[in-house]
Chains A and B, each alone.
Chain A
C-alpha cells in the first residue's frame, strides 16, 4: 500500500527496514543518535541526525548499532570501510558532502580500491549517506554537489535520488549492494512529499527513470534539478512542446541506453545539473551523447549548471547561482529556434 510521506521519512523507513532485516547493518556518524551518555535523555528526544533523518533508530536498535561518533571523519569513515570488509554492512553518515575533504583518502584510496587491488578477494558493502545541494543559504562549505568527484572514481557507486519513493528503494538497494555506495540526499528535498510503497523494495542501479514522456526535447536532470526540469516541461507544454524528463538516479553505473534512446527520439538534449560546470556530470552526459548519439542530434547540446564559482551565501546571489525553469526555457528556445518560448 502506498502512502504519502516525506523524503526524509522515506529514508528513515529504508534504514529501519534494513536494520530489521539484517543485524549486520549498523549506522554510524555524528549525532545520528544524539546525546550519547546523557543520562536524562530519553532516546526519542535525541537528535537523530542534524536534520532528524535518523530519528528513532537508536530507540529501536540501541546504541551498539546506532553509534554517535566524534568529529573525526577520517577515523570513522575509514573504520566503516574496514568494518564492511570484515563482515558488517555499515551505513556511515557524512553529514555534509563538503566534509569529504576530511576523509577523501578513506573513500578514494581505501573503499574504492580494495576489491580491485586485492584481485577480487575483498568486498566493501558500505553505504555513505551524505547531504548536498544549494538553496539552503548554507554558503560555500555546506552547499556543494560533489557527486561528479565520486563518479570519476572507479570502484564507487553513486546514487542521487529526486523523490521519496526513489530515495527509499535506492537506499535499500545501496545498503544491500556489496560495493561502496555514495548516497546523496539534497537537504532542500527532505520535506517534499510523495507516494511511497510500504515494506521492503529495492530499485536497481543503472536504471534511469523517465519522469515524463515527450517527443520534442530531452532533459536529463540530476537530483533536485529533476523538479526544475519538470516545471520547465510544464511551461514548455503550454507552448506546445513535449519534453521528456529523464532522471538517471544512479550516476555510477549510468543508464546510457535510456538517455540515448530518448535523444534518438527527440533530437535535442538539455542537461540540468546544479553542480559546478567543469568536469561535471553535465559534461559527462553531454560527452556521452556527442560520442554515441551525434547522428541523433538536430541541435547543439545545452547544459544548465551552476557557474564556475563557489556557492555564495547571500540569497540574492545563491538564487542566481542555481538553475531555474526560466534558464531551461531560454536554452530550449535557442535549440528549438523559437524565441516565443522564452518567458517575458
Chain B
C-alpha cells in the first residue's frame, strides 16, 4: 500500500487559517497541560495529543456540529478540532464544576454532545460501536450527518474494531474510521501487536476502501478525509483511513518512554513536525503571511492562558452534584 501525500488541493484562506489555528490550539493546550501536570496540580491520568494535530484537524475540517466524532483516551485534540470550548475543557481537566462534564469526567472522558463530540473514552476500542450507532441514527433519520471514529493502533486489535467495521460495512453506514497509528500502544510497538503491515490493509477483509496517509501532513489527511466523507454522505458506506503519526509525549504523563529511541524522537519532534510543515506550506503557497501566522499563534497563547485562569478560578462541584445525572429520572 502506498502512503498518500498531499497533491492538488483547494484550501480556502479561511479554512487554512482555521486549520492552523486549531493545530496551534492543540499543541499549546497540550504543552500547557504538560507543564501544569508536572507541578502536581492536576489529578488523574492525562494522555497528551501533541504531535498528532494534523489528524484531528485534517479530518474535522470537513465536519459541522451536526456531525459526530468518537474519541479515545487521548481526546483533547479531537475535542479542540471539533470546536469544543477551551475554557470548559481546561476546567474539566481541573475537575471543576464549570468543566464540559461538570468535573465528573475529567481528561479521559471529555465530551460535548452539543458539538457532536461523543466523548473521550477510557476503554480502548470503546468508540467503534458508538460510532456505528451514531451512523445508524444518521442513516435512519436521514440527517445527512457523518460520524468519524478516531482510534489508536492498539485499538485495532480489539474485537470491537472488527465487529464495528463489519456492521458499518454491511449496513453501509456513513462512518469514517480514522486510525491514529503512532507506533505504540503504551510501550508495545504496533509491529509486535498487529499481524498486519498496515491497519488500512484490514479494510479489504470488510470490503471497504482502506487508505494509508502521512499523518503529519495535514493536507494529505484533509484530502483523504474529503474522499471518505463524500462517499459516506453519498450513502456508499464506511472507509478506513490510517494516519501514520507519532505522539510527542509519553503514553501518559509520567511515562519515561524508554521504548523510544533518541533518534526517532529527534526526527519526529524536529524534522517531521506537522505544524512546522503546514506553516511552511502556508507561507510558500502565499495563503498566509508571516505576520498573520504570528498573530494566530499569539492569539492562541492568550486563549490558553485565559482557559487556565478560568479553570483555576472556577469552583469545584459540591455534594448535591454527587447523585445528580445518574439517571434522567429514578
Contacts and interface: CB of A to CB of B under 8 A. Distances in A.
Size band of the B side of the interface? 35 or more
Contact of B158 (A102, A139, A317): A102
Judged by DSSP, the binding face of A is loop
Contacts of B108: 138-139, 141-142, 313
Nearest to B186: A31
Interface stretch (A38-46, A195-203, A238-246): A38-46
Contact of B123 (A36, A75, A101, A317): A101
Contact of B44 (A40, A70, A307, A313): A313
A74 B159 contact: yes
A40 B261 CA distance: 8
A231 B322 CA distance: 25
A101 B319 CA distance: 29
A50 interface: yes
B316 A316 contact: yes
Contacts of B316: 314-317
A264 B230 CA distance: 73
Given A102-B125, A313-B105, A316-B103, A47 B322 contact: no
Nearest to A136: B44
A137 interface: yes
Contacts of B123: 98-99, 101-102, 141
A142 B106 CA distance: 12
Contacts of B104: 139-140, 310, 312-314, 317
B185 interface: yes
B157 A71 contact: yes
Given A34-B259, A314-B95, A137 B44 contact: yes
Interface residues of A, number: 44
B189 interface: yes
B107 to A, nearest CB: 8
A284 B58 CA distance: 53
Given A41-B259, A307-B323, A139 B109 contact: yes
B44 A71 contact: no
A219 to B, nearest CB: 24
B258 interface: yes
Contacts of A138: 44-45, 108
Q: Which of A31, A71, A320 has the most CB of B within 10 A?
A: A71
B122 interface: yes
A271 B187 CA distance: 40
Contact of B186 (A30, A309, A317, A320): A30
A68 interface: yes
B155 interface: yes
Interface string B149-187: 000001101111000000000000000000000000111
Interface in A45-88: 45-47, 50, 68-75
Contacts of A21: none
A38 B44 contact: no
Given A46-B258, A316-B318, A141 B122 contact: yes
A96 B45 CA distance: 13
B159 A31 contact: no
B261 to A, nearest CB: 6
21 contacts: A34-B187, A35-B189, A36-B188, A68-B193, A72-B159, A98-B123, A99-B123, A102-B125, A139-B106, A140-B109, A141-B109, A142-B45, A313-B43, A313-B106, A314-B97, A314-B317, A317-B95, A317-B104, A317-B317, A317-B322, A321-B322
Given A70-B157, A73-B158, A139-B109, 13 more contacts: A34-B186, A34-B187, A36-B192, A37-B192, A68-B193, A69-B193, A72-B157, A98-B123, A138-B45, A307-B323, A310-B104, A313-B106, A321-B322
